[in-house]
Amino acid sequence: MPGSPASSWAIFRARLKRVFQGADPRVCGAFWLFGLINNVLYVIILSAALDLVGPDVPKGVVLLADVIPSFLTKLCAPYFIHQIPYNVRILVFVALSACGMLIIALTPPLQDSRTIAIKMCGVMLASLSSGGGELSFLGLTHYYGHFALASWGSGTGGAGLVGAGAYAIATNTLGVTPRTSLLVFSFLPLIMVFSFFVILPPGPLRAGAANNTGYEAIQSEALEDEDMDEVMQGREHDEMLSSSTHSTSAPSLSSTSTKRVNGALGSFTANLNRVRGLFFPYMFPLLLVYIAEYTINQGVAPTLLFPLASSPFTEYRSFYSTYNAIYQVGVFISRSSTPFVRIHHLYIPSFLQVANLIVLTLHAMFDFIPSYYLVCIIVFWEGLLGGLVYVSTFAEITDNVPKEDREFSLGATSVSDSGGICIAGFLGMAVEVSLCRWQVDHGRKYCKMQ
């Protein structure tokens, strides 16, 4: 019967089957785990910020230690990381992140400058691994297609919920000490080894390497930049030129070295040109949304407080953790939405995120939003926008960037989110202090009661 629940369910199942037609469960499962594990330690470290540095040290220190190495890795690594096979990269990233977490967990819980510095070294090692992992796994989706990218995005969204939830349950509900919890979590990166070497089908990656695609093609093109006529005329001309050169004289060692240096410089220059072409359509909107998003989370959200009598809480510190949980739910939903929802105009949600920042900042100053629940809706909307721009940016690159440039482009663009978080980390510390001071000066002292 048309319109009946059974008929509607059948239609929904048919549409769902059509959406996921051609998806390989092993690919989806492997990339979901890649996204989850690569990002979950970042979230766990931020959740443990108070336990790592104590109440007297700004928590922005942990955020910056957790982001700056990742940002620098994403900024530099795309120009040379193609020389390292993916299986070697996975082992290196797992070793770095596990060592970083072990350093954090095994350092004595004394809150002096020396122990805090040692812990931050561990945080930075984990951050290096996370940054290198993100650009590598995004590049790897080039070989496995749209469902790999969608699964990666969903896994990264799930990392927020799993990381924050696991640490809260372990330390608050189960009563496990922060040190023991972090020690247990340090073994999570081993799941990436299992995902890559056991779950992920190796065929597409081997086929891509055999066909000389991605970075190798980019490198080959760059090496020929010194003689564009040879590139245009094809390999036949190259062989003729090589034969002629060999018949007259053998190439000198200095000539060979010069060609290698010129080739490396040509490769670097070619990749810089590619980055310039990526900046405005893809990198800038992603950078913009992350600056706005994390300035809200780190700088504005701690001041979005209401009288306890008009809220469901008994203490002011509960506002911030609740906002963070609601935000993570929005991120998870939107990062899992690629098979169903796609946006092609990336600047629209980026500007909407900036609007969220402006509205919530003005509310922190002038207290015009009447209900805590309305702020929760805006925070949920913030998470939806941030996750949507993230996955849509890389989906647009997959659709629109030429195949030979795609692997590099996916990895290079990933620098934008870490760059945005770095900028927001510095902004957030100044914004939180300024907004709290403004509120106290105008008779609202809630931010001093957390």
Query: Could you state, in order of their start, the residue ranges of all structural domains in the chain?
Result: 22-214, 274-450
User: Measured between alpha carbons, how far is 383 from 361 in angstroms, rounded to an integer?
Assistant: 17
Match 């992920």 to its residue by tokens. Answer: 200
CATH topology of domain 274-450: Growth Hormone; Chain: A; (1.20.1250)
The pLDDT score that the predictor gives to residue 340 is 84
Give the model confidence (pLDDT) of 115-147 as tens digits.
Answer: 999 999 999 999 999 999 999 999 999 999 889
Which DSSP letter does residue 85 get?
-
User: Measured between alpha carbons, how far is 341 from 343 in angstroms, rounded to an integer?
Assistant: 7
Angle between helices 253-278 and 215-223 (to 10 degrees): 120
pTM over 0.75: yes
Count of alpha carbons within 13 angstroms of residue 157, beta-carbon side: 27
Count of alpha carbons within 13 angstroms of residue 192, beta-carbon side: 33
Please return the burial class of 74, using the count of CB atoms within 10 Å of its CB with bins 0-12, 13-18 and 19+. buried
User: Measured between alpha carbons, how far is 377 from 389 in angstroms, rounded to an integer?
Assistant: 19
- pLDDT < 70 stretches in the chain: 1-22, 55, 58, 210-268, 450
Give the model confidence (pLDDT) of 301-350 as tens digits.
Answer: 989 999 999 899 888 878 887 888 899 999 999 999 888 888 999 999 99
The pLDDT score that the predictor gives to residue 229 is 44
Residue of 415, 409, 378, 393 whose CA lies nearest to 348? 393
Token pair for 87 = 């299986």
The pLDDT score that the predictor gives to residue 136 is 95
CATH class of 22-214: mainly alpha
22-214 and 274-450: identical CATH topology: yes
Q: What is the largest CA-CA distance in the chain?
A: 92
